[in-house]
Amino acid sequence: MVGSVVRTSRVRELLSIVGEAYEFAGSPVERRLHVLRRLAGLVHARSAVVCNLADPPPRGPGRISEAVGVGWACEKEERSVHGILAAKGLCFDPLASALFTRHRPAAASVTSVCRRDTLSLREWYDSEYFSKVRRPYHVDDGLYSLSGGSQQDPIVSLSFHRAKGDGWFSEEDLSLIELAQQVCARTLGAPPTKKQLSPRAQQTLEGLMLGRSEKEIAVELGLSRHTIHEYVTSLYRSFGVRSRGELLAKCLGPGAGAR
């Protein structure tokens, strides 16, 4: 747990968010979005994302599922963030990768980091992730938190970002989000997906998430276009959808659609 002192007024605001979560009358997804939006306001973040996480580093790439977000500058930014991270894994983000390698969370615990205390300016601003995913939309600072990790509870990842010129997250912000993870984890988390895909089907899905055509995926994987089409058709059946747009929406959460 981060040792920073949190002002009473901000703790009260957090507790009011917890109360709202239990009383919220909407669907589970709407409740998650409501809590996420309120937490983003609490730490003055422009955008925020919550997702479940599987295959965490160092053994896996940190695959995301059931992702929802708020505060996007535009729909293109949302598709870019979700699509690239869903395809490459959360470890493509250097701050998320550092969270696992330097602050590996224990099962059923909460671990949180902010950019300024974890990465140098060069590690952050010179990364491929920042140049491709964040810089185009004028996003600057980041604050991340992980909870769960036991066999019963999936890992829940929370990330918050501020726009350029909005300043850096403080130790108090970090402590607030870590506390929020402890009291809101079950509300923020979503049941992990039960879809079991073959390696080739998973690679095909990743290609679709990156906006590639069936022909481009076939060339990349060294397979025929007909074979890739069969994988795509199988994915549609598996997820109960009829188009690429519906497939992306189902995999990445509300708001993600066809490219």
Please give the structure tokens belonging to residue 182: 């402890």
Stretches where the chain sits below pLDDT 50 are 1, 192-194, 253-259
pTM for this model (two decimals)? 0.72
pLDDT for 118: 92
CATH topology for 8-188?
A: Beta-Lactamase (3.30.450)
What was the pLDDT predicted at 169?
Answer: 95
pLDDT at residue 193, as a whole number: 47
34-81 pLDDT, tens digit per residue, is 999 999 999 999 999 988 887 777 677 788 877 888 999 998 898 888
Residue 81's pLDDT is what? 86
pLDDT of residue 120: 94
CA nearest neighbour of 39 among 10, 67, 64 = 10
Cβ 32 vs Cβ 50: under 8 Å: yes
Helices (H), the chain: 8-23, 28-42, 75-88, 94-102, 115-118, 121-125, 128-129, 171-188, 199-209, 214-221, 225-239, 244-252
pLDDT of residue 26: 74
| DSSP structural state of residue 45 | -
Inter-residue contact 2 to 171 (CB < 8 Å) = yes
Rounded CA separation 82/253 (Å): 9
Q: How do the domains of the chain map onto residue ranges?
A: 8-188, 199-252
- The answer to whether residues 137 and 112 touch, using CB atoms and an 8 Å cutoff, is no
The pLDDT assigned to 108 comes to 57
d(CA 82, CA 80) in angstroms, rounded, equals 6
Question: Domain 199-252 carries which CATH code?
Answer: 1.10.10.10
In the numeric block, the tokens 């981060």 are attached to 2
Burial of 160 (0-12, 13-18, 19+ CB in 10 A): buried
